[in-house]
Structure 1
Amino acid sequence: MSDSSMPSDAVSPVLPEYPEFSCAAVIVAGGQSSRLGHVPKASLSDGTSTLLDCALQAVRQASPRVVVGPDTLPVPSDVLLTREDPPFSGPAAAIHAGLERVAAQCEDSSTPAPKWCLILGVDTPRIAPAVQLLMRTAAVSDATTQPPLPEEDSPASEGFWGISEGIYQPLVGIYRYKSIRSVFSEGTTDASVRSFLRRLNPVSVKLSAQHTADVDTWEQAEQLGYTTSLWSSY
């Protein structure tokens, strides 16, 4: 499946009350799903929506939206699709690929780079309220003369990442686009996502465990109701 263009309403403000706020989104959707017997997470459905559908809906206000995964993923025409190189080289490599695809799209369309970029895994079907909270937190930080610090005497923060019940969520966050692109510019193959994100001194945003519940095992898939695979492999 080939990459497609940005949606025609891409110039509309993401948050009307913050008209200067702009945000892209990168969805990591190409892992091997080893704990699910290699059944693609993106394909799991509750009978109405797949996990991929849920992720795309959660970031529907972002532009451009980039899914990182195999070229067989069924994405809408207004969503870009790219792949980490080499395939299955980890989420850090996927984030790098997604950020570079955002840059290429902006260059091709002669549009400014977004101020912010959402990073989201494909396996959190109830994440939409958390995404809204992250976007509004980032927008408020733009409107504040003194940006928040992650802790006293630390460098200024370049983003926000979720924390739920004391557990950090590296694939649920929002970061200044230029900063995160720079941090993920090289050395990402089979690397730790968290090791790169820490360089951005992200501020923690408390998120509901209900919203961040993810699908890593069949037991979790059953708990969340996503047990039907709509395609068996990538």
Structure 2
Amino acid sequence: MTAYDAIVLAGGAAKRLGGADKPGLRVGGRSLLDRVLAVCADAGTTVVVGGRRPTVRPVLWTREAPEGGGPLAALGAGVRHTTAESVLVLSADLPFLGQATVRSLLTAAGTGAHEGALCRDPDGRDQPLVAVYRGEPLRRELALLATEHGSLAGLPLRLLTAELDLAPVAADPLASFDCDTWEDIAAARARIREHGTVLDEWITAVKNELGIELDVDTDVLLDLARDAAHGVARPAAPLTTFLVGYAAAMASSGKSPEAAAEAVAEAARKATALALRWEEETETDRGPGTP
């Protein structure tokens, strides 16, 4: 992964949301800002431009001058606190942005003679607030614009992007979905509760809430819960998975996340085998033909 810094723009008046604190609005139990911060957790420095608010991980806070001066002024304020060759720039209202898109942008920005890369949405529109910029040309053009106009306040982002050679990246169609209205918020909340995505969303939310960086095979745990519920008793399912987690934590204390994931898999394997043996004994004791 390319070393990079991140700037998250979390200001703005949110007029179409009636002045609500948009970055603090929750989708899937997590604030929009925290969801964005999760996809750039490996940034060297993360700068959030906007009013201070609680976040799940520490960030560097700053404000544009004057406050409410617009995204270009906010970007200018944020870039002063970055030093990396690549700068990831995101708005704080992207509920479906994933790490895969961030990786694609970093890769595209770091190859060839491009001065950065930006997400291109399914309608063919470029998204300058879902982008990676090379640090030197970004700082150069911001300084030139500030000199030419006397200030970055109120200037449109297109003045910046027009001067940079940015590679378009066709990412996940939902990567650039942003929440400008209450209808957008409702749509995002409904989407993450769909059958095909709700479990992954919930597991991600729990891991972020608990500060866990652990990739495990959830199918293994679900199979364990099923076998415990079916072969022993329904309440055995949550209790068994809890004990598996506890055993894995004890076995992997002080070890790498990979070792922790392997400890979960091994504990789940043992507990599953036990549940199947338990069920086998029960079936044997009932005898053939017993209802």
TM-score computed with the length of structure 1 as normaliser: 0.73
SS in 2 for 1:74: coil
Q: Aligned to 1:225, which of 184, 189, 199?
A: 189
Q: Which residue of 2 aligns with 1:101?
A: 81
Q: Distance in 1 between matches of 2:73 and 2:34?
A: 22
1:22, 1:115 → 2: CA distance? 8
Assess if the C-alpha contact under 8 Å between 1:75 and 1:81 holds in 2: no
Could you tell me which residue of structure 1 aligns to residue 156 of structure 2? 192
Partner of 1:118, secondary structure, is strand
1:173-206 Cα deviation digits (max 9, x unpaired): 0011121112112231111112112211211111
Larger displacement relative to structure 2 (117-126 or 206-215):
206-215
What is the distance in 2 between the residues matched to 1:182 and 1:221?
Answer: 36
Q: Percent identity?
A: 32
Paired with 1:208 and 1:77, the residues of 2 have a C-alpha distance of: 25
The question of whether the paired residues in 1 share the 8 Å contact of 2:10 and 2:50 is answered with yes
**Equivalent of 1:115, from 76, 79, 85?**
85
Distance 1:178 1:74 in 2: 31
Task: Give runs of aligned pairs for residues 63-82 of structure 1, distance below 5 A.
Answer: 63-70=44-51, 72-75=52-55, 78-82=58-62
Distance 2:17 2:178 in 1: 13
TM-score (norm 2): 0.60
Partner of residue 86, structure 1: 66
Counterpart in the other structure of 1:18: none
Residue identity in the other structure for 1:215: C
Which of 86, 94, 103 is the equivalent residue of 1:124? 94
Residue of structure 2 aligned with 1:172, choices 122, 130, 136: 130
Instruction: Report the equivalent of 2:27.
Output: 46
Q: Distance in 1 between matches of 2:102 and 2:4?
A: 11
The structural deviation recorded for 1:77 is 6.0
Q: Does the 8 Å contact 2:34/2:56 carry over to 1?
A: no
Q: Distance in 1 between matches of 2:116 and 2:159?
A: 14
Give the residue type in structure 1 aligned to 2:24: S
Q: Deviations over 1:30-49 (max 9, x none)?
A: 11101111101111102521
SS of the aligned residue for 1:211 comes to: coil
The one-letter amino acid of 2:184's match is Q
Alpha-carbon contact 1:161-1:173 (below 8 Å) kept: yes
Q: 2:165 aligns with which of 183, 195, 201?
A: 201
Residue 101 (structure 1) shift: 2.1
Cα contact 1:130–1:212 (8 A) shared by 2: no
Taking the aligned partners of 1:194 and 1:205, their CA distance within structure 2 comes to: 17
Query: What amino acid is the match of 1:101?
Result: H
The one of 9, 14, 34 equivalent to 1:33 is: 14
Distance across 1 between alignment mates of 2:92 and 2:168: 21
- Which structure's CA Rg is the greater one? 2
For residues 3 and 30 of structure 2, what CA distance do their matches in structure 1 show? 27
CA contact (8 A) 1:26 1:68 kept: yes
C-alpha RMSD of the superposition:
1.6
Q: AA paired with 2:105?
A: L
Equivalent-residue separation in structure 2 for 1:63 and 1:167 (angstroms): 29
- Say whether 1:55 aligns with 2:36: yes
Distance (whole Å) between structure 1 residues aligned to residue 86 and residue 56 of structure 2:
22
Structure 1 letter corresponding to 2:69? S
Conserved 8 A contact 1:26-1:66: yes
Q: 1:182 to 1:75 in 2, by over 3 A?
A: farther
8 Å CA contact retained: 2:105, 2:131: yes
Secondary structure, counterpart of 2:178 in structure 1: coil
SS state of the match for residue 223, structure 1?
A: helix
In structure 1, the residue corresponding to 2:94 is in which secondary structure? coil
CA distance in 2, matches of 1:46, 1:200: 34
Distance in 2 between residues matched to 1:114 and 1:38, nearest whole Å: 34
CA–CA distance in 1 between the matches of 2:114 and 2:142? Answer: 16
